Amino acid sequence: MTIAISHVLAQIQHELDGGDFSIGLDKFGVLNQAGHFLYSMHPWNWAQGRSALLDLRGQLSGTVATWTTLTSTLTEAAAFTDYTFLAGDEITIVDGTGATTGVYKIASRTSANAIVLDGSLSASNLSTGDIEWRIDPSTIELPDDLRDIVWVATTSTNWLGGVTLTSHAEILQMRASSVVIEAGRGSYYGAVVYTGSPPAPILEIWPNPSDNATGAMRIAYRSRWVDVSADSAQIDIPGWIEDLFIFIARAYAAGYERSSVASIHTRLQEIKMSPIFEAAKRSDGMAQPYVGQIQGGGTTIWRRQNYNSFVCDLVNRIPPPG
């Protein structure tokens, strides 16, 4: 179900005895604070059922680029047609008359012919047209509403090892090593980091893909609150959560406007101890009952039929209602 922002604002006006927020207090800022608290106050099952396909970005290179120092622009005809920019991308300048070789941050992609660098290859224009460069995209764009990844896997059988989530430090160490992994001979490794302004989640991966690939990975993830900024916006939450969110929004509004009566923290603590919160947790937990470990000997039979090869026990991974 969905609930209109205008309805929540009407509830807040009722809480404030028909009044509105004081001048200087952002009503949408208060609503977004309430939304973030709702998502973080409990590991909701309904927020976990999101999934998305992820695209790989392949290597790009060129040998005839030029440099314009005034705009920090690297130009080569049609060289960036298949390039999708993500914050944090880097380019390696391999060679070029008058160009300072090295690794530079990419600031933006302005067209299929040009990108802007966060740095200078030269104090003067380089128009010879012999700058050699290479981009090795090592990140994947993630959904804007991602809070944390539940699992991630490849959709192609070319990578039998799938995807292993690890730390960002481990990813950087592997990139610095001389290890080479061939397709079908191992795993991708990934780590979620935040970059850009405002910070957005991306997946740092290793090894770097050689070609673009649409829908190369699939993730299941727990979502977060997405900020709202208009009265006409809709909030997409289950029906059994609506009352809880309204009371949280009312608590934030009253806490800001009447802090002398009770602080926001006190009001939120009361909500966490309320029957409304308990009812919401029960409704959320019963969406999928816990049935425990799979019974009936199926795993043992499978082992015998496969020459006693190692197979992990099949277990229902769904936790009991919390």
- pLDDT-derived band at 314 (thresholds 50, 70, 90) equals very low
Q: Tell me: the pLDDT tens digits for 235-273? A: 989 998 999 999 999 999 999 999 899 999 999 999 999
Dihedral over alpha carbons 283, 285, 291, 292 (to 10 degrees): -160
Same domain, yes or no, for 40 and 78? no
Same domain, yes or no, for 217 and 232? no
- pLDDT-derived band at 307 (thresholds 50, 70, 90) equals very low
- State percent of the chain over pLDDT 90: 61
State pTM to two decimals.
0.76
291 pLDDT higher than 80: no
Same domain, yes or no, for 93 and 126? yes
Same domain, yes or no, for 218 and 144? yes
42 pLDDT higher than 80: yes
Task: Say what the pLDDT of residue 159 is.
Answer: 63
Instruction: Name which residue leads in pLDDT, 19 or 258.
Output: 258
Q: Quick check: 125 and 67 in contact, CB under 8 A? A: yes
- pLDDT-derived band at 286 (thresholds 50, 70, 90) equals confident
Give the number of other Cβ atoms within 10 Å of residue 301's Cβ.
10
Domain boundary pick from 84, 118, 135 = 135
Q: Quick check: 131 and 192 in contact, CB under 8 A? A: no
Domain boundary pick from 135, 150, 185 = 135
Alpha carbon of 206 to those of 167, 235, 312: distances in Å? 12, 36, 27
Instruction: Name which residue leads in pLDDT, 292 or 98.
Output: 98
Share the mean pLDDT of the chain.
86
Distance separating alpha carbons of residues 153 and 148, to the nearest angstrom: 15
Q: Quick check: 209 and 2 in contact, CB under 8 A? A: no
Residue-range definition of the domain harbouring residue 297: 291-322
Same domain, yes or no, for 128 and 146? no
Q: Nearest CA to 224 among 142, 151, 145, 141?
A: 145
316 pLDDT higher than 50: no
- pLDDT-derived band at 302 (thresholds 50, 70, 90) equals very low
Same domain, yes or no, for 128 and 171? no
In sequence order, the β-bridge partners of residue 111 are 114
Same domain, yes or no, for 128 and 75? yes
Same domain, yes or no, for 130 and 116? yes
Task: Say what the pLDDT of residue 313 is.
Answer: 46
Q: What is the DSSP string of 178-207?
A: -----TTSS-EEEEEEEETTTTEEEEEEES
In sequence order, the β-bridge partners of residue 213 are 56
- pLDDT-derived band at 131 (thresholds 50, 70, 90) equals very high
Q: Any idea what the CATH number is for the domain that residue 79 is in?
A: 2.40.30
Q: How many domains does the chain have?
A: 4
Residue range 216-240: mean pLDDT, rounded: 91
Same domain, yes or no, for 127 and 104? yes
Domain boundary pick from 198, 223, 248 = 223
Residue range 34-60: mean pLDDT, rounded: 92
Start-to-end Cα distance in the chain: 22
